[in-house]
Structure 1
């Protein structure tokens, strides 16, 4: 504890020496002087608690000194004791007490009496100081409470009645503070029976001594609800509550919830649109590609075969555009993943060159591949996506190059702790781009200039998708180009080598050359007549026995009368779609026959829906006949769970 400061004032030095000897103790700090004026300076500069003052002094006597201290608010609280050797008459003592002194010490001083009185004065001084400090603190708290922007109230925990409340309640809720005294706080709640505060009162959870935070709606001006956050603390058998206005925060939360609901609604609308668009385009496209396959299987002269080849190329281009749009959607929603498998980069590069060679020959361009010897034989990579990117880059290079060359280079730049740093470059001697146009080529639907799509064709989605695919592989697609001098598109990937062998990219067999089955019966539900014709043709070519219906209802009716070895259901059909037909067959008819879903959409949601409805596998339109054959083969000879 801090030492108590005591002033000794006496005009005689020997008296000060005597007093100092009596008061020689560790809990006080002594200030002494023979001058009243010097004593006034000491009390002004130091926090003096007790003053022992001689009465008779030249100039300013003890009474005048005491009156001076008592007249100043800063020194009024000092406890003054007169030290005197003169008369003990009552009138003399009364005069001293009226000047502000509280006691007398008479010379000659008795050490025991002097120390006892000093002890008493120190205790009194400390008590008075503590009271003053607490009063000042209470005044500060009162000021804070009165000027707080929050509502601050004290409440009886047993009844919930308001004992005190600050003026902020009028600003926040429009209520007069005096009108609320003695009123239960529950009366101001919008829904008191489902109130967090009421639950605190009922369960008496405030008794655990921790600050409790709840949120409740209160009636405000014109009975408009206002959200308040209540911070509740229990002390001295009362609840002290701070009520903070959180209406803006709640409005923001409601806005976020509404925005999320709108975003979810927009997402579902978008999914529905993409599913419908995919179905409406892929269904006739499957017919076009299928009819091209059927024509290709007939006896054709060279001119007719060229026409069929162009038909298949055109339908393939249309399919690529559709896939680009769906890929963009899946990437934007974070539903696109990279799946590394064993990949032979030399075989991948050769496949791209072989596929695009005919376009190069048409334009009399040199199309070449260079793979450095240091590139590992097999690496772990998503070969399908790398192939998609390189095909796009090579296709663009051929499109925008009128003479000269297009080169695909695959080279190892370095070896790192995580694998080999492989650089892929597509270089051309084509039209090139200016710096201004290069800034736009990776944006969605963006091309080098407005005339590009008219002169060269394309949607402008290819580079956007390629960039997003490369970023999913933790890299960046970059470009160097000069107008009329050609372009270089390149990216680097860190790929680990593997001893696994990549799957051979064997050419697909013609559907008419596939081995026949053993006459198994197949129920097919397909509402599109062209697709139904194609399916029937494929199945009969493979020695299967198809029964054709046009919707899910007819399929269910047929299953009630006959059993089949395999069921093929289109997902979107009138009256009853494939999902409902599969569920009905599994749930109500107990059908164990394997079911293959034919869908004109490639959205993951529809694939999941097909499997959940009881189908065993899915195949997206348009499909190659060989893929359909392999699916049928797998389902017919696999044990159905």
Structure 2
């Protein structure tokens, strides 16, 4: 190489010594500066990282150290320029100006010659050829790589075309491409589709909001995934699971959209058919359960009435068998009904403020009798520190507890033991039921909460039940955000428990607020039961929390204020001794007993124990002359002022009587507008609102009241719907409209009392019963005995209500006949609704049923329905009701 460039070799030292000058000259030319600036290349970086290296490379070639045409620095520079999109001519321009800077230097240094110029040009050409070859090879490799990717993409496209439905649209949504599969499934030709919008296949079942959401997701996230129902050209439909992707240019501008979809019509159709079959099954279960339960309730009601009659021992035994079997059947039907509601999604959770102390204690008392039949003792511990008021669905909590207790009694042998416990820590309520019954085999535990399943074994073969109870408990707990659990050992017993998150409405504790009656006793003596220690433990656990100073022994050995003993475990001598004693005693009994009723110094507590029961026993010792509240007045009384919105005069009178019976005061509104005005002017604890009234209906009145509460930041007043509309879904729609509860017509006393219990405080002072003057009259056409039993009204009160009813019907009958003649469907429906509500309260089921159908047909304006014949049937029945 040196032989070809002798002049450069001769001047090598001069060139190397002038490196800085030559490089400075190179970067002073306009063209390289513009190119570097155009591609955002820092001039100083280019000088230090690349220009220096290029110069050193050329000097190395002249010195014979490196070979011409393989400049590593230029390769490095090309790699740097990879993302800059620099053109070949621009690269050549930069390199040619390096040559020019060396040539210019030779002139300035007076070492120039023709031979030197040719040698510089030769070196530059050789080097650029090598660089160009490297650059060309790189491009070739890239092209080969691109070809490979294009081929691969083509294969992907072919695979997609075979398996998926492909389409593309421009940025405005106009179709620009469809594959053969799209054409085949839609039934349209390509010419019909291309240039059209996708609305060409849009199915009428797809809502506009769905496509608004589709475009929103595409614009904001660049992708949409979903299921769409489309129309074929022949009118059939098809479903697709689709993914749509937005395609953008380098400047993030939308250029087109590509849609990749799969046909899922068969899958969707199968799923819809399965849902229809499931709904039909659930409807059948629900409907049949209801149809069976209605007559069964009547059977059980009359059996209960007959048992109270003066019967022979044998007849009473037969009735008790019928009653027990009927109650078992009713329990099975209720399980099926609850299960079907849970499965069909109709089941609703209704949280409210409640006291767990009251709810569990009331539930426990319901099972004492059935436990006593098997001589099973129920003990309990309801933690006194549980806050006074919790917020959850107390009805469903009691339902779960009742199921646990029912199973425990069923599977515990005679003379067994069941323990119930309730605690609340970190806002988690835990309610457990432990028994020492037959237990569950390890292999059955995993399926114990599965529907229609019972633990196996010979001992349970004779047990009655659906196998739904625990499954219902499991589903109920999940609906409330909790969980049910079980632990068991075969032959040793089982423990079932519920863990449920609850809100704390009042953090104070009602139990510790009033313990003065217990604290009066400084010396309390307890005779320990050595044989049944679990009963002693039940009492002593409460005593320890209450801070009682108790001396425990098997015999009385010292002076005492109160002696507590287990009544079943003391002998007759002890009983006679305490009866004649001047000390005070509390007897703990396994079952209700009145043997100490006549002795004021002896109080009785029957297991299971809980705070209020223990406190009541001490109160009774302190105030023996004051009879317990329940002995003075059986009917529960409430505190509160109620607004009644009802347009039917007979219904008004009935509700007024019932409200007064419960010790409540009230105001009366004849329509929704009056109700709203009264609400704004007064304070109420509860509103009973009829749904259908003139001037303004109940639903509109509720909306106005709720808006008024929100605007004025007022405490919410509970509102219960009062309506004859009890068809499926009416309750759910009412609750969604803002009602807090739902009362159907005819009014059922237990349901009315449930609403009062949910929203009003219980009064400890019994309200005086109003005396109603007795008239020597009677009523034809009504079942007086049934009405007095179900509505708890006297005959004189029923006589007054019947008189109002007859007057109202005498007015509505001609109004209805005129409306039928004019075919005034709106008025016909309104009058029929009024008759339906009034007749329901008088238990005129045939009139209620006929007027319900009449109302439905009138609302639909059904011209084929025989209104005259239907109303004649209603009128004839109403005219049978007379006061004689």
> What is the TM-score of this pair, normalised by structure 2?
0.41
Q: 1:153 to 1:507 in 2, by over 3 A?
A: closer
SS at match of 1:430: coil
Of stretches 447-456 and 40-49 in structure 1, the one that deviates more from structure 2 is 40-49
Equivalent residue, structure 1, for 2:551: none
Distance 1:33 1:450, change over 3 A: same
Q: 1:40 is matched with which residue? A: 67
Distance, in Å, in 2 between the alignment partners of 1:365 and 1:228 is 64
Equivalent in the alignment of 2:411: 400
What are the superposed Cα offsets for residues 458-504 of structure 1, whole Å, 9 maximum, x if unpaired?
Answer: 222112222333333443323332222222223344552637999x9
The structural deviation recorded for 1:119 is: 11
CA contact (8 A) 2:420 2:433 kept: yes
Displacement of 1:108:
5.9
Alignment map for 1:312-327 (pairs within 5 Å): 312-327=323-338
SS of equivalent residue, structure 2 residue 496? strand
* Counterparts in 2 of 1:393 and 1:118: CA distance versus 1, 3 Å: same
For 1:361 and 1:264, the matched residues in 2 are separated by: 46
Q: Aligned-pair distance for 1:449?
A: 0.8
For residues 225 and 382 of structure 1, what CA distance do their matches in structure 2 show? Answer: 41
In the alignment of these two chains, the number of paired residues is 472
Aligned counterpart, 2:421: 410
Residue number among 444, 452, 469 corresponding to 1:462 in the alignment: 469
Distance 1:192 1:580, change over 3 A: farther
Aligned to 2:667: none
Match of 2:485 in 1: 478
Residues 400 and 473 of structure 2 are in contact (CA less than 8 Å); yes or no, is this contact kept in structure 1?
yes
**Is 1:328 matched up with 2:339?**
yes
SS at match of 1:489: strand
Q: CA deviation at 1:281?
A: 1.7
Aligned counterparts, 1:272-311, within 5 A: 272-292=283-303, 295=306, 300=311, 304-305=315-316, 307-311=318-322
Q: 1:125 to 1:466 in 2, by over 3 A?
A: same
Q: Secondary structure at the match of 1:394?
A: helix
Would the alpha carbon gap of residues 334 and 585 (structure 1) be closer, same or farther in structure 2, given more than 3 Å must change?
Answer: closer
| Alpha-carbon separation, structure 2, partners of 1:353 and 1:444 | 26
Contact 1:397–1:406 (Cα < 8 Å) also in 2: no
Cα distance in 1, alignment partners of residues 399 and 359 from structure 2: 10
Indicate if the aligned counterparts of 2:69 and 2:131 stay in contact, CA closer than 8 A. no
Give, in whole Å, the separation in 2 of the partners of 1:501 and 1:372: 11
User: 1:408: Cα distance to partner?
Assistant: 3.3
Alpha-carbon deviations, 1:76-120, whole Å to 9, x = none?
xx99999xxxxxxxxxxxxxxxxxxxxxx9536579x989x9999
Q: 1:469 to 1:453 in 2, by over 3 A?
A: same
TM-superposition CA deviations, 1:541-572 (whole Å, max 9, x none)? 7556699xxxxxxxx99995998571439999
Structure 1's 319 and 109: CA in aligned 2 closer, same or farther, altered over 3 A?
A: same
Would the aligned equivalents of 1:340 and 1:380 in 2 still touch at CA under 8 Å?
A: yes
Distance 1:441 1:469 in 2: 15
State the distance in 2 between where 1:133 and 1:298 align.
Answer: 109
Q: Which runs of 5+ in 2 are unaligned?
A: 28-46, 78-94, 101-111, 159-165, 202-214, 512-628, 637-652, 658-723, 725-780, 789-794, 807-815, 822-830, 863-884
- For residues 562-595 of structure 1, what are the alpha-carbon distances to aligned partners after superposition, in whole Å with 9 as ceiling and x for unaligned? 9857143999999x98764323456769xxxxxx
Task: Give the equivalent residue in structure 2 for 1:14.
Answer: 10
SS of match in other structure, 2:483: coil
In structure 2, C-alpha distance between the alignment counterparts of 1:469 and 1:364, rounded to whole Å: 31
Contact (CA 8 Å) 1:213, 1:232: kept in 2 or not? no
Contact 1:189 / 1:218 at 8 angstroms: preserved in 2?
Answer: no
**Is the aligned partner of 1:538 residue 2:786?**
yes
Find the counterpart in structure 1 of residue 704 from structure 2.
none
Aligned with 2:419: secondary structure?
A: strand
Give CA-to-partner distance per residue, 1:420-463, whole Å, 9 cap, x none. x5542322221122322322222212222154552222222112
Residue 351 of structure 1 corresponds to: 362
3-state SS in 1 of match to 2:23:
coil
Residues 213-266 of structure 1 deviation map (CA, whole Å, 9 limit, x = unaligned): 9999999xxxx9999979666899xx987967x3xx4214x3553344234423
Whether the 8 Å contact between 2:432 and 2:498 is mirrored in structure 1 is yes
* Alignment pair present for 1:250 and 2:262: yes
In structure 2, what is the Cα distance between the partners aligned to 1:443 and 1:537?
A: 45
Whether the 8 Å CA contact 1:441–1:447 is kept in 2: the answer is yes
CA gap 1:155/1:370 in 2 versus in 1, 3 angstroms: closer
Residue-by-residue CA offset, 1:25-76 (whole Å, 9 max, x unaligned)? 45642212467975437617564799xxxxxxxxxxxxxxxxxxxxxxxxxx
1:602 alignment partner in structure 2: none
CA offset at residue 398 of structure 1? 1.3
The superposition leaves residues 159-215 of structure 1 with CA deviations (integer Å, 9 ceiling, x where unpaired) of x999xx9xx9899999xxxxxxxxxxx97356347434999xxxxx9xxx9999999
The reply on whether 1:583 has 2:594 as its aligned counterpart is no
- Determine the C-alpha separation between the residues in 2 that align with 1:225 and 1:458: 44
- Change in Cα spacing, 1:192 to 1:452, as seen in structure 2 (3 Å) is farther
Instruction: Specify the SS of the correspondent of 1:404.
Output: coil
Matched position secondary structure for 2:263: helix
User: Counterpart of 2:442?
Assistant: 435
CA RMSD of aligned residues (A): 6.4
Q: Which is strand-richer, 1 or 2?
A: 1
Residue 286 of structure 2 contacts residue 341 of structure 2 at CA under 8 Å; is this kept in 1?
no
Within the alignment, does 1:566 sit opposite 2:838 as a pair? Answer: yes
CA change 1:262–1:161 in 2 (3 A) is closer
Question: For residues 304 and 557 of structure 1, do their structure 2 counterparts lie closer, same or farther at Cα, with a shift above 3 Å needed?
Answer: farther
- Using the TM superposition, give the Cα deviation of residue 303 of structure 1 relative to its aligned residue in structure 2, in angstroms: 5.2
Shifted more, 309-318 versus 557-566: the winner is 557-566
Asked if residue 147 in structure 1 is aligned to residue 152 in structure 2, the reply is: yes
What SS does the corresponding residue of 1:456 show, helix, strand or coil? coil
Please state how far the C-alpha of 1:128 moved relative to its aligned partner.
9.9
CA distance in 2, matches of 1:447, 1:406: 22
Specify the alignment match of 1:361 in structure 2.
Answer: 372
Instruction: Find the aligned partners of 1:413 and 1:401 in 2 and give their Cα distance.
Output: 27
Distance in 2 between residues matched to 1:471 and 1:153, nearest whole Å: 44
CA drift at 1:312: 3.6
Partner of 1:446, secondary structure, is: coil
Is the 2:439–2:488 Cα contact (8 Å) retained in structure 1? Answer: yes
Question: Structure 1 pair 256/385, CA: closer, same or farther in 2 (3 Å)?
Answer: same
Instruction: Report if aligned partners of 1:343, 1:383 keep a CA contact under 8 Å in 2.
Output: yes
Deviation at 1:376, TM superposition (A): 4.2
What CA deviation, in whole Å up to 9, does each residue of 1:128-168 have, x standing for no partner?
998887776566445433431227999999xx999xx9xx9
CA distance in structure 2 between the aligned counterparts of 1:114 and 1:413, rounded to whole angstroms: 95
Q: What's 1:57 paired with?
A: none
Aligned to 1:448: 455
Contact 1:380 / 1:497 at 8 angstroms: preserved in 2? yes
Q: Do 2:482 and 2:500's aligned partners in 1 also have CA atoms closer than 8 Å?
A: yes
